[in-house]
Each structure stands twice: as structure tokens, then as C-alpha cells.
Amino acid sequence: MAEDGTPDLPAPPDAANRPRIGVDEWVAQVEGRRARYRGLRGALLERFERLPLAARFALFLVPAAVFPLLTNQGNVFRYGLFTLVYALLALGLNVVVGFAGLLDLGYIAFFGVGAYMYGILASPQFNNHWQAEFAIPVVVLVTALIGLLVGLPSRRLVGDYLAIMTLFFGQAFVVFVNNANRINFPFFGHVDLTGGANGLPNIDPLNFFGYKLQTTNEQYYLLLILIAFVLVFLYLINQSRTGRAWRALREDPLAAELMSIPVNRLKLLAFVFGAAVAGLTGAIYGTIATAALPGDYDIGLLITIYAVMILGGFGSIMGIVLGAVIVSSVPELLRSPGNARPIFYGAILLTLIVKVRPWRRLAAILAGLVGFGFAVHAIAHAAYPRLVAGSAQGSDRFAHALNHWMLYPNNPGKIADVAYVVLVAGIVILPQLRPLLRTVLLVPLFYLVMFVWENLLLEQISGATRLILLGALLVALMNARPQGLFGKAYVEIV
Amino acid sequence: MDWSLFFDLTVSGLTLGSLYALIALGYSMVYGILKLLNFAHGDVYMIGAFIGWFALHGLGGPLKPDVGAWFAVLGMFLFAMLGCGVLGVAIERFAYRPLRNAPRIAPLISALGVSIFLQNSALLIFGAAFRDYNTFSLIGGKTYNYGNLYLSVPQLMTILGALGLMLALTLFVSRSRVGKAMRSVAIDREAASMMGIDVDRVISVTFFIGSALAGAAGVMFGLVFGQIYQFMGFIAGLKGFTAAVIGGIGSIPGAMIGGLVVGLAESYATGYLPQGSTFQNLYVFALLILVILLRPSGLFGRAVIQKA
């Protein structure tokens, strides 16, 4: 009691220990409840996570910034630009799928909308030649708006409906741009909006305040700066209230709603954010390609971006950058046969050595592989000479040795195609079989790998073969590690 | 009003609708039991069309079939349904079953992967060229007509065949032991397994039946439209799904009615709406959006209370 008789106010809570109002602590701790890796990878990841933030970003950005200085323009274009475009797209998609847990299968359409919008604003098509500082904000706003419109009907729907709606939207976009060159509008009459199947050619280069970004290096650095911005922004938003709310939404929408998180608004926000990033990337991609072609925005790219994101791991920002590097540059590296063969056989041997334990099993498999090859070769030689009529590419000693071991059909086309499909299906199925069967089947499978490699992939990694591989990658990764290569699994608390 | 155009559109709408209904059944049954959107379903339908083509050519080809023309057609259906059924079971076993307790997004992505895999494998193995069923040489170009109503033999076959299959399915689900097990698994998987139902087997049977229906639809498509190609499954799958949603996903009569609604809507859009022949897919998309906005549980579906 004080002197005038009023009761004492309760003492102010201890500043250090008082509950932090407005911070959803349980959600904020979510990173602490992840599985830890053991061994070398665990140690590396832990070391990486202890680095200060700036150092972590620098670890990615500095090599990327130095890359164009070390190599020529052709390589920057082939490896650099596409990696950055993939990374930027995957980062945007990651907000939608990885943070908020919405499966957006029309994402590439927003990328396309960006490129086409920019083409309409800055190309000879309508004789508009806007400066980039006006055109890009307009493009981003329009794509965000379209994202809002597509997201609105899906707002109250569960994940599956959103997936199919967006898939349909993506398809509708492709149909639309393919045919929008002959629409008769009620008041304007005939307007060629998108150039139909020929696309919009001759898009202007990015033109900031009169300065044109035309060389590959300039475009590369622009993209890199954008990625740096997006990375920092994503990091900040991930730490913010919104980021935590997104994660809560992803883990359990129903529980999040009961915690008075505005689920619908947050879903739309994530969706619109993803659309805006895709639109921005699309505008820049349009100027790099100097054209907007309908075929570029089809399902193939969607799968590629999903592969990037899944390789990296949902919600892991750094993993995605690595995923983009892998997905975009590995097929390019393998394209020239000179460095492809050593990389390939090296990778096979390394996989076997790392994965197969104990060493007796490894030796058995390797011996089995060599024996199997000679046996198959001998049988084929006796029974179907056509199968060994060809010969290995190259004339070094290794190629010569391969001639006695591997089958080289005279005209491998169809046989190799079928073998490829069987192989990819086998790779998906094999890990799910019983251990003994798995070991036994491993030998023919690896032989098949090399057969397909020598007869099909050494010539071409593109189009259908690439997509099959990516499709199988999605299935296999979802089965083996749903959290992606670099993501971390949750410790389930029930 | 031009009645002959109207009847033409109605007949082609009913034909398309029967195909969509068969596809929608597979979606709906799988969704009812697993709550899984099987993106690969459209591609199973495409594979069915190709199996039918190979069966036809294995039986001597459309010009001079080794057996009677009608036996050839029957053989095509048999092989396609069996092949697709087995394919569907394999897909479930290796791409979905390991993910049954994973987060919801994992099987969806896996399904997408299967779809891409099937499409591009078909492209690689069967080549990019369109294949011709050459129905005309096989069963002739006979057309029935009543006044303004024209019905070709393949169209009649499709509509009646789809009706027959749906009737058989309804009987199977409502009368047989396995059908009863399917219904109980759809209501509550855990409770069903506690009652001694082999849930894995029931799911396999569901995939077998759904995929077999899609395979039959693929052969029907080939017979009616003549040409089949690698990417026919994608759009057809989307429309089958639209049909399933319109009918109320998880409901078998809903999928049938939904399929007819989508087929008729597409056909009338082609004939009557501006630029319909180019943009009919966009009109179907608009229909899907309308249904989702106005009646998300579909015509026959019941609103479900979401549980954790």
C-alpha cells in the first residue's frame, strides 16, 4: 500500500525475461528443430551456418562476380546467364512453394507475361520504345495484378485445386499467345497482339536513362545485382513476421488460421510476390533473347525450375542457387564429348565407391560389372552381330578397350532410346526393392547406364532425354529426400 | 436456328464428353481414396491410345486385319485396358506409395514427374510423328442418320461403350466385395485397415480400374478422331480433371455427368462462341473457374469439413 491508499502497480516485468509479445516464438524456433547431418557434410553445413550473413552471401556472389573476368563471352552466355535466370526464377517460386506451401504450376506463364509485356512496350511490334525505367515497373505491376487475378479464385481452395488451376492457366497462356495474332476485338478490329507462333521479334535492349545494356557481361551483372537484391530481401522477409506466418501456413494451414493468422491474405501475398519476380525475370530474359517466343514458356521450363528448386530444397535460399548451377551447367558441360567421358566415368566410379559398403561388396560389383560386360559382348557377338557392329567414339586406348566390352549397335537410334527409358525407370524403381535383389540388379543397371551413355547421351543431351531425366529426378527425390539435396528434414513432433 | 449444326455439335459433345467422363472417373476414384491428384492420369490415357495402335498393327493392321474387324477392335480395347491398368498399378507402387505419409506437396510433385516422364518417353520411343488409326479402312465409314442427326459408327461405339463401362463400374463399386472395400477406404482409410481391409490392395485395384478406363478412352479417341500423338494426354487430363471437379471430386456419378457437361460445353463453345475453334480450351478453363467460384464442391459433391 502506498501512502495515499492506492494499491501498488505491479512491478514492470524483467526486461530480459518478459514474454516477447508479437513474436510467435514457437514458429520462430522452427529452424532449431531440424535434423542435423553427421559426418563431413554436417560439419561443413554447420561451419557454413556459423558464418556471418555477409560472408555467406559473399561466398556465392564473389565467385559469380569474378566468373566473367575469367572466361570468354560465349561461356558467360552459355553457363552464366542461364544459371542466373534459373536461379532468379527458382527464388521467386521458392516463396510460393517453399515458404507458403502453395503448388503453383502456372509460374512460367508469369515469366512469359513479363517477356511479352516488355515486348509490347519496347519493340517494333506496336512501335513503342519505352525506356526500361518505365517499362519494367509497368511489367512488374501488370504481372503482379494478373497473379492476383489468378490467385483470387484459388484463395479458398486447398492445395490440389490451386495446382490444377495454375496448370490450366499456364496452358491457357500458351494457347493464348500462340493465337492472339488474329483476335478481332469489338472496337479495335484486328490486332496482332503477340505475333502468334512466330513470337515478338526484335525486342529492344534494356535502356536505362538512355544507357543501353547490350553486351552479355552487362546483362550478366544486371542479373547478378538483381539476385543479390532478391537474396537479401528474401532473407529479411524470411526473418520477419510475414515469413514466419508463411512457414506456419505451410506446415498447417488449419492451425495457422486458428492462431488468427490471415491465411487467405498471406496466400495471395506469396502468390503475387512470386508472379512479380517471374514477370521481372521475364522482362529481362526477353531483352536477352531479343524475342518472346511461345515455345519458351511451356512446361519444359516449368519442370526445369521445379528441378532447380527441389534439388536445392524447399525454403532453402542458398540451396536454390546451388541447384541452379547444377541444373543449368551440368548438361552444358557434358555437351562436348572431350570432357564428357572422363567426367562421366569418374562420377560413376565415385558414386560406387562412396555409396557401396563394405569394400567386398564394392569389389564384387565392380568385378561383376567387368565380367557382365564381356559376357554380354560375347553373347551379342555370337547371336546378334548387328549389336556390336559399331565402335566407340574417339581413338584413345580407353575407347579401344571399350570396343571389346560395351555394345555399339551399328545404328543405335531406337535401341538406345528404349534402353534410356528402361534405365530411367530402373533408377527410380531400384532403391525400393529388397536389398539382395537390389545388389544383383545393380550390375546390369550400371551396364545399362554406360550403354545409354555411350550410344545416346554422348551425342545429345537435349529435348526429350533431358526432360525424362528431370521428370525422374522429381519422382526419385520426392521418394528419397522430400526436403531436397540441401534442405534439412524436420524433426517430427507429434 | 441451324438445327443440323446444333445436332452435330451435340453429337460431338457427347462423344468428347464420354471420353472425359472415363478419364474423370480415374481422377475421381483416386482422389476419393488417396486425396491425391494424379497428374499422370492423362498420360496413361495417351499410352492407352498407343497400346491400341500397336495392338491393331500386331493384329495385321487396319487394311487387312488377321482377325475380323470387330475382333481387332475388341483386341485393341483389351490390350489397352490391361496395359494401362498394369501401368497405373506400377505408377502407384513406385511413385506414390512411398509418399503416402509425406507432406501433401511431395506426391503432387512426384505425379508431375511421372507425367513428364511418360510424355517424353513416348516421344523418344514412338517418335514425334502422329499415328493414324485409319478407322475408315478398318470398320468403314458408315453413318446412321435420323433427320438432321448424324452418328458415325465410332461415335456411337464411344458413347455406348462409355455408358457400358460406367454401368459396369457402378455395379462393381456398389455390389462387389472389393467395391465395398473401396468405398470404406474412401471414407476412412485407417478405420478400414483396422477392420481387416488390405488397404494397399484396394488402392492397387483402384488404380488398375481407373487406368484401364483411361486406356479404353484412349482407344476410343483414336477410333473417333483417327490420329494420336504424344501430348494428347496433357490437355485431355486437364479436362478430365475439370469434369471431375464439376461433378464433385470423389463422386462416381458426378464424374460421369461432369464429363458430359465439359464435353458439351467445349463442343458448343467451338460452334457458337467467338473464336471458339481456337480458344475452346480457354472457355473450358473459364467454366472450371466459374464452378470453383460458385460451387466448389461440385454438382454432386458434399462440402467436407476439413480435419487436421
Contact assignment for A482 to B99 by CB distance below 8 Å? yes
Q: Which of A160, A27, A9, A206 is closest to B108 using CA atoms?
A: A160
Q: Over range A402-421, report the average pLDDT.
A: 77
Mutate to test the interface with B, among A107, A168, A304, A433 (most CBs of B within 10 A): A168
Rounded Cα gap, residues A314 and B101, in angstroms: 18
Cell of A222: 544486371
Contact assignment for A475 to B289 by CB distance below 8 Å? no
Residue B308 pLDDT class (50, 70, 90 cuts): very low
> Which residues, 6 or more positions from A3, have their beta carbon under 8 angstroms from its beta carbon?
none
Cell of A320: 536454390
Q: Residue A466 pLDDT > 90, yes or no?
A: no
Contact assignment for A470 to B102 by CB distance below 8 Å? no
Q: pLDDT value at position A493?
A: 44
- The top-scoring range by mean pLDDT among A255-269, A341-355, A389-403 is A255-269
A419 touches chain B (CB under 8 A): no
Q: pLDDT value at position A450?
A: 79
> Which residues, 6 or more positions from A137, have their beta carbon under 8 angstroms from its beta carbon?
none
Q: Which residue is associated with the grid cell 515469413?
A: A243
- Mean pLDDT of the residues in chain A: 78
Concatenated DSSP letters of A350-418: HHHHHHS-SHHHHHHHHHHHHHHHHHHHHHHHHH-GGGGSS--SS-SHHHHHHHTTS---SS-HHHHHH
Q: Where is pLDDT greater, at A326 or A30? A: A326
Bond preceding residue A435 cis, omega within 30 of 0: no
Q: Over range A366-370, report the average pLDDT.
A: 83
Contact assignment for B308 to A471 by CB distance below 8 Å? no
Percent of chain B with pLDDT over 90: 41
Strands B143-146 and B131-132: unpaired
A183 touches chain B (CB under 8 A): yes
Q: pLDDT value at position A463?
A: 61
Range name among A114-128, A182-196, A278-292, B73-87 with the lowest pLDDT average:
A182-196
Q: Residue A92 pLDDT > 80, yes or no?
A: yes
* Chain A residue numbers touching B41 (CB-CB < 8 A): none
Cell of A297: 514458356
Nearest residue on chain A to B230, alpha-carbon basis: A464
CB-CB contact of A490 with A33 (8 Å) = yes
Q: pLDDT value at position A315?
A: 63
Contact assignment for B308 to A252 by CB distance below 8 Å? yes
What's the pLDDT tens digit per position in A185-228?
666 667 777 777 788 888 888 878 878 787 888 888 889 999 88
Residue B86 pLDDT class (50, 70, 90 cuts): very high
Contact assignment for A103 to B98 by CB distance below 8 Å? no
Cell of A270: 506469396
Q: What is the ipTM of this complex?
A: 0.79
Cell of A141: 505491376
Q: Residue A234 pLDDT > 50, yes or no?
A: yes
Sign of CA dihedral A14, A16, A20, A24: negative
Rounded Cα gap, residues A373 and A371, in angstroms: 5
- Please give the backbone phi and psi of residue B236, each rounded to the nearest 5 degrees, phi first: -60, -40
Q: pLDDT value at position B226?
A: 84
State chain A's maximal CA–CA distance in angstroms: 113
A-B interface: how many C-beta pairs under 8 angstroms?
142
Say whether B35 sits in a helix, a strand or coil. coil
Instruction: Please count the CA atoms within 13 angstroms of the CA of B189 that sit on its side-chain side.
Output: 13
Distance from CA of A256 to the nearest CA of B (A): 11
Q: What angle (nearest 5°) sits at the alpha carbon of residue A174, between those of residues A115 and B298?
A: 125
Q: Over range A94-120, report the average pLDDT.
A: 88
Model's pTM, two decimal places? Answer: 0.82
What's the pLDDT tens digit per position in B280-295?
888 888 888 888 777 7
